[in-house]
Amino acid sequence: MTELLELENVHARYGPVQALHDVSLTVGEGEVVAVLGANGAGKTTTLRAISGTVSRGGLLQLGGSNLRGGPEAAARAGIAHVPEGRGTFVELTVDENLRLGAYTRRDRQVRHDIGRIAEYFPWMVDRGAQRAGTLSGGEQQMLALGRALMSRPRLLLLDEPSLGLAPLIVREFFRIVRELNENEGLTVLLVEQDARIALSISSRAYVLEVGRVALSGKSDELRDDESVRRSYLGY
């Protein structure tokens, strides 16, 4: 498998606070990789380091070229970051949110892609003119995912998509992510509190502890290792 994303000795800080000390990880083309860990372990910061929304150092490469600059540059390089807590423009309509997802694209396939995305989220067709802020939490999370797909990303970063959602909706969300991965070869780096569901959807996982990679391995092996489960994953 060729590596799409490569992080080596990445560190990041918020002002004087060092949030990531030394994180190295890889994501292969077409792979779903999970990042797990307790609150404050640096999961969100890892994603933010990749998309350039936090000041960072170390080696970060996407498809062999260095990631430089802020989030605008990351978006142009093909990274779609769905941040924690529903990344939608609440005052804009569903349709406008989707079109904004395609902002960096120059081709004329945007309309067509909205139709394609509607195959995964049929309700978006009829509710294109609805303001995103009036959607339910689950629908907003779906819209955030749909918007990310509109950029035809090389790499999708998902930050805690299950946060605050009912279990049924969480399952539906991850079913769609899995389908996208299987049907379209979408590469995903997933940050998740819910280790059980994250390990079930991913092929590999990294466990962070205070800004460092404490452990990594195949998802099914991590899941079956009781000592790992108890000491790191808490279930």
Partner 1 sequence: MVVASFADFMQQVVSGLAAGGVYASLALALVIIHRSTGVINFAQGEMATVCTYIAWTLTFNHGWSYWPAFAATILFAFVFGVATHRAVIRPVERGSVLRVVIVTIGLLIAINGFVVWQWSGEPQALESPFGTDTLDIGGVIVSAQDVGTIVVTLGIVVLLWLLFQFTKVGLALRAVAVNPDEARLVGVRVTWMLALGWGLAAVLGAVAGMLTAPSVGLDPQMMQPILIYAFAAAVLGGIDSPLGAVVGGLTLGVLLNLIEVYSEFVGTELKLSVALLIILGVLVVKPSGLFGRAEVKRV
Contacts with partner 1 by CB under 8 A lie at 51, 53, 70-72, 75-76, 81, 83, 87-92, 96, 99-101, 103-104, 147, 151
CB of residue 164 to partner 1, shortest distance in Å: 14
The two tokens of residue 190 are: 């997933």
Amino acid residing at 5 = L
* Residue 43 vs 204, nearer CB to partner 1: 43
Which position has the token pair 């077409």? Answer: 30
Q: Which is nearer to partner 1, 139 or 194 (CB)?
A: 139
In angstroms, the CA 135 to CA 42 distance is 30
* Contacts of residue 233, Cβ cutoff 8 Å, sequence gap at least 6: 36, 195, 196, 199, 207, 222
Which residue, 148 or 197, is less far from partner 1 as judged by CB? 148
Please tell me what DSSP assigns to residue 103: T
Name the minimum Å distance from CB 166 to partner 1: 21
Min dist CB 91 to partner 1, Å, is 5
CA-CA distance, 64 to 100, in Å (whole number)?
Answer: 27
Residues 205, 222 contacting (CB under 8 angstroms)? yes
One-letter amino acid identity for 80?
A
Beta carbon of residue 66, minimum distance to partner 1 (angstroms, whole number): 18
Nearer to partner 1, 86 or 223 (CB): 86
For residue 192, give both structure tokens.
């998740």
Q: Which is nearer to partner 1, 20 or 80 (CB)?
A: 80
Nearer to partner 1, 53 or 193 (CB): 53
Q: How far is the CB of 222 from partner 1 (least distance, A)?
A: 30
Shortest Cβ 133–partner 1 spacing (Å) = 9
Specify the residue, 155 or 199, whose C-beta has the smaller distance to partner 1: 155
Q: In the β-sheet with 212-218, what is the strand arrangement from edge to edge?
A: 65-66, 55-62, 3-14, 17-28, 212-218, 204-209, 32-37, 188-191, 155-159, 79-82
State the Cα–Cα distance between residues 28 and 26, nearest whole angstrom. Answer: 7
- Closest contact distance (angstroms) between CB of 104 and partner 1 is 4
Record the tokens describing residue 125, joined without a space: 């067709």
